[in-house]
Amino acid sequence: MSEELRKEAAKMLLNGATLLSEPCPYCKGVRVMKEGQALCTKCGRKPGKKKIVTEEKRENPLKQTLDKKLEDLSKELEKEMDHDKQQAILKSINSVLEMIDKIKEK
């Protein structure tokens, strides 16, 4: 496990992420799950993202925008070291996820 990945995983856990019971499909490593995104602590892969991209085509255009936003926010969160800003980003992620849920219900 690389130091960087271990730090990121620890950060995710501190922010309410949970450990996944299923191991990574690529390397059988331990994964943490946060906001619907699983991160492998061993190889750093985030399986499942590709699926979202291929599904986008026949979905609501707003959903595409929200998915894109979610991706941007998670990248932002990854880079952000300031704890207060992390919380702010997580709040935005939460709002986006709620919005995505609302669209799904229709």
Contact residues: Zn ion, CB under 5 A = 24, 26-27, 29, 40, 42-43
Q: Which is nearer to Zn ion, 5 or 97 (CB)?
A: 5
Nearest alpha carbon to residue 83 among 4, 14, 3, 6: 14
Closest CB 17 distance from Zn ion, rounded Å: 16
Q: Which is nearer to Zn ion, 39 or 96 (CB)?
A: 39
Closest CB 79 distance from Zn ion, rounded Å: 21
Q: Give CA–CA dist 32/44, Å, rounded.
A: 10
CB-CB contact of 5 with 14 (8 Å): no
Closest CB 76 distance from Zn ion, rounded Å: 23
Q: Which is nearer to Zn ion, 6 or 104 (CB)?
A: 6
Q: Give CA–CA dist 33/39, Å, rounded.
A: 6
CB-CB contact of 60 with 97 (8 Å): no
